[in-house]
Structure 1
Amino acid sequence: MAQTGKVNVAYFTNWSIYGQKYHPSKVPCSSLTHILYAFADIKDDGTVFLTDAWSDVDIHYDGDSWEDQGKKLYGNFKQFALMKRRHRHLKLLLSIGGWTYSSHFKAVLTPSGRQRFVESAMKILEDVGLDGLDVDWEYPQNAGEAQAYVDLLAALRQALDQREQAMGEAKHWLSIAAPAGEARNKLKVREMDRYLDLWNLMAYDFTGTWSDTASHHANIFASPQARTPMCADEAVSFFVNQGVNPAKIVLGMPLYSRAFANCHGLGSNYQGVPEGGSEPGLFFYKNLPLPGHQEYFDDKALAWYSVDPSGSQVVSYEGPTSVDAKADYIHRRGLAGAMWWELGGDAEDPQRALVPRAGFRLGDLDQSSNNLHFPGSQYENVRSGQI
């Protein structure tokens, strides 16, 4: 079944069940079309592997039996398998790589490494019940790596298509995390595009602790007043001009901030960052605004931010009005939909939560079916369809 509407895609991180206490049960399934499960890593020989067995396949949630006989799937993947049965529009993809593991993509520079990558990734797909794969290589540095990326996607597409045809059930998805900055210039976009269903554009981190200016980190348009170094619209136009159908581009949005201290308002220089975040300058949306801050919407840049009473702290993040404006932008440019990094950062209060808000503003969401049959799984409850 082909895609039927806009997509609302979100990353679920396997470490979020610890510090953030964000479990699969908190995922707003009815508002999402795709979940990208992050991250799998890559061995030196190209083998893809899960990074946290306890979180991924072992942890017992409420309702899981300790008396089961045989090899059974538990963990987050069992919970998502149950959700897929209740929400047939919800697709689950494994995201491979990410910033931390991207140096390990050197393994796919050889044909044997790519073959091992594809075979092992497809085995995980079969074992835990996935609907596709997401590749997050940050980033190819030269022409050789860019060509290896193309070759990897070609091999993955072939393997996914073969399984899709053999099962005759539902579409098998292939996506990537696409850079919005200068790293995009190294990619062989036209060659990659023929194999991809979705380009998940990382339209955030335009500013941060590495920047000179307290400015927006996820703005759609440039703003001379805010001294924005980058903007999402420029990145979208780049990929469209390279031949990518806008209906395959997914606009990424952050559920975290980039914060600045000792400055003089938006667009000024700064020194240091506010303390108390999960890392320097980074606060989850659910913990914002910071105490005493007033929130604002920049209707030129289409960006949300807050400022403390003295103007010495500026915090850039996504907010309700910017989400509404970005949903309108997605419709106006004919993009595929929205993508979120990452679910654990959203507010639990339904009145403040941004992911469901985007789903509502995007309108008719993709209702194409997921896959439920995995006869080659190593897990009895997946293989037999008992989940």
Structure 2
Amino acid sequence: MRFALSSQVAAAALLLASPTSAQVNPLQALSNVPQTNYNNATQARTGLVSAAIPLEAVKALGGFLEGSLGSLFGGLIPRSTKQARADSYASYKTTLYYPNWDIYARNYQIENLPASKLTHVLYSFANVNATTGEVYLSDNWADIDRGRPSGDTKNLYGSLASLYKLKKNNRQLKTLLSIGGASYSPNFAGPAGTASGRAKFAQSAVQLLMHHGFDGLDIDWEFPSDSTQAANYLRLMQTVRAQLSSYSKQLSGAPQFLLTAAVSAGPDKYNLLNITALNSVLDMWNLMAYDYSGPWDKVVGHQANLFVNTSNSASTPFNSDYVIKQYIAKGASARKMILGMPLYGRQFAQATAPGKAFSGTGSTGSWEAGIWDYKAIPASGSSSTFKIYTDTQAIASWSYDSSSKMLISFDTPQITRAKANYVTSRGLGGGMWWEGNGDFAATDSRSLIAAFTNVITQRDTTQNVLSYPYSKWDNVRAGMP
């Protein structure tokens, strides 16, 4: 598509440039992006959960500079030495969610992870007992038993043994146990509302970390629904942080275990949170900056755009730039903000273009109707009917097959490089993806993770933890010899 030339288009074009060709200071080039308000509402799915969000919250905010340049160096909680602290501030995170069900139909194993490109892997998901608050593994066979010889009850097997071995061979790779997700999130509210429930949650979560060799915990509660739950969410995070600190003090060198959270791009969700207080206990805000549009909408929208398209506002009901600025304005450190990106595409049937009407998702998809793994796009069509388009103002892309009238909103390598440029220009903490199975191998030129890491080469090299002397598993205590 073609758009009228504006300061925002010029800024977006700069982001789309290759890292070697961008000679202009992007902070300066983006300082005059106009502001726009939209005062209607839509139904959107942010972070895999539906939420009605007013579009008055969606703005094209001016520039990348806002306030002091000190935000570029906002504080990640240090893990050990002064040098590690400095390295953490000066480098970027590349974080990938790995669901434990990927070993089944998708046949995507721990060994398939692009470990050299990643700084963090979030192993998903542990469940929560809705009554007691106990955190427990959701699939023992996949997580700890697969490959276990008959009679061996003393050693760790399964995907978690493979994950420990992977991080042992890639010392920059930190592993976190992600708790919750969309399916298990209803189980948080009850135990989070009592001191005993929060204590049980924290104690059992840290025990899983201790036994299975994780470097931290990721809390994926989707989402606290009112002010009471939001207050309990903060109390839960504070309790978990205290438990992590207590465990750390028992170990040689007192390593800093990580606490992160998957958070919504929906204003009705994040406006409930005490972001300043949460920022003091969190190491990373994993922003689910995707699912901005889908079958719940009346017109086709981009699902993961950076900016608003002022010429076609219906196609950009949300934009990541606004959301990130809101989190920072409310107290989040810029260097803790991690930009989430999809490794999948959302399909719109009987469509013509972004901002126009469609009818459903169609019956096709990689694993569910309307959702395609990125590596499976294009889903159909021939060279004469299938094309890929880029919205250079919104920083978004889509494919369209004119014969089947199928439109798929997804990120291309070009868009991913632009997002990497955005992360560095804005002084953010890095990038995150849901989820690993959707990408090409990192050695493939089409890989989105590779596209991002080819731009952001200065990545977090803080070493992971390998010593777990209190693990119940013999091979974990021994360092997985």
Note whether the superposition's TM-score is higher than 0.5. yes
Describe the SS at the equivalent of 1:166.
Answer: coil
Deviation at 1:226, TM superposition (A): 5.7
Give me the whole-angstrom Cα distance separating, in 2, the residues matched to 1:70 and 1:41.
23
* Greater mean alpha carbon deviation, residues 138-147 or residues 273-282: 273-282
Deviation at 1:357, TM superposition (A): 2.2
**Aligned partner of 1:51: which letter?**
S
Matches within 5 A, 1:154-233: 154-167=238-251, 168=253, 170-182=255-267, 183-224=269-310, 225=312, 227=314, 228-233=316-321
What does the per-residue CA deviation read over 1:324-366, in whole Å, with 9 as the maximum and x for residues that have no partner? Answer: 0000000111000000000011123622111122122112100
TM-score (structure 2 length as normaliser): 0.77
Q: Is the 8 A contact 1:131 1:173 kept in 2?
A: yes
Give me the whole-angstrom Cα distance separating, in 1, the residues matched to 2:460 and 2:194.
37
Answering whether residue 471 of structure 2 is matched by residue 385 of structure 1, we say: no
Matches within 5 A, 1:1-387: 1-2=84-85, 3=88, 4-43=90-129, 44-60=131-147, 66=149, 69-106=152-189, 107-167=191-251, 168=253, 170-182=255-267, 183-224=269-310, 225=312, 227=314, 228-277=316-365, 278-292=367-381, 293-310=386-403, 312-348=405-441, 350-387=444-481
Q: Is the 8 A contact 1:298 1:304 kept in 2?
A: yes
Aligned-CA RMSD value: 1.5
Describe the SS at the equivalent of 2:399.
Answer: strand
* Alignment CA distance shift 1:105-1:70 (3 Å): closer
Q: Is the 8 A contact 2:165 2:480 kept in 1?
A: no
Give me the whole-angstrom Cα distance separating, in 2, the residues matched to 1:70 and 1:110.
35
Aligned residues: 383
Deviation at 1:297, TM superposition (A): 1.6
Describe the SS at the equivalent of 2:204.
Answer: helix
Q: Is the 8 A contact 1:169 1:371 kept in 2?
A: no
Q: Tell me which stretches of 4 or more aligned residues in structure 1 moved more than 4 Å.
A: 67-70
Give me the whole-angstrom Cα distance separating, in 1, the residues matched to 2:209 and 2:119.
18
Describe the SS at the equivalent of 1:294.
Answer: strand
Describe the SS at the equivalent of 2:296.
Answer: coil
**Aligned partner of 2:387: which letter?**
Q
What does the per-residue CA deviation read over 1:29-85, in whole Å, with 9 as the maximum and x for residues that have no partner? Answer: 00000000100110021000000011101112xxxx737855110011111111111
* Alignment CA distance shift 1:71-1:309 (3 Å): same
Describe the SS at the equivalent of 1:290.
Answer: coil
* Alignment CA distance shift 1:37-1:295 (3 Å): same
Describe the SS at the equivalent of 1:15.
Answer: helix
Deviation at 1:164, TM superposition (A): 2.5
Describe the SS at the equivalent of 2:420.
Answer: helix
Give me the whole-angstrom Cα distance separating, in 2, the residues matched to 1:322 and 1:357.
9
**Aligned partner of 1:326: which letter?**
K
Give me the whole-angstrom Cα distance separating, in 2, the residues matched to 1:68 and 1:82.
22
Deviation at 1:170, TM superposition (A): 3.2
What does the per-residue CA deviation read over 1:276-326, in whole Å, with 9 as the maximum and x for residues that have no partner? Answer: 212231111010112223112211111121111248221101110110000
* Greater mean alpha carbon deviation, residues 286-295 or residues 121-130: 286-295
* Greater mean alpha carbon deviation, residues 133-142 or residues 68-77: 68-77
Deviation at 1:144, TM superposition (A): 1.1
* Alignment CA distance shift 1:82-1:10 (3 Å): same
**Aligned partner of 1:287: which letter?**
A
* Alignment CA distance shift 1:137-1:67 (3 Å): closer
Deviation at 1:213, TM superposition (A): 1.3
**Aligned partner of 2:353: which letter?**
G
Identity %: 37
Q: Is the 8 A contact 1:324 1:361 kept in 2?
A: yes
Q: Is the 8 A contact 1:265 1:312 kept in 2?
A: no
Give me the whole-angstrom Cα distance separating, in 1, the residues matched to 2:107 and 2:283.
32
Deviation at 1:254, TM superposition (A): 0.3
Give me the whole-angstrom Cα distance separating, in 2, the residues matched to 1:332 and 1:111.
42
What does the per-residue CA deviation read over 1:110-148, in whole Å, with 9 as the maximum and x for residues that have no partner? Answer: 100000000100110011000000000111111111111
Q: Rg: which structure is higher?
A: 2
Give me the whole-angstrom Cα distance separating, in 1, the residues matched to 2:255 and 2:174.
10
**Aligned partner of 1:369: which letter?**
Q
What does the per-residue CA deviation read over 1:205-233, in whole Å, with 9 as the maximum and x for residues that have no partner? Answer: 00011111112000000114262111111
Which blocks of at least 5 consecutive residues in structure 1 are unaligned?
Answer: none
Q: Is the 8 A contact 1:374 1:383 kept in 2?
A: yes
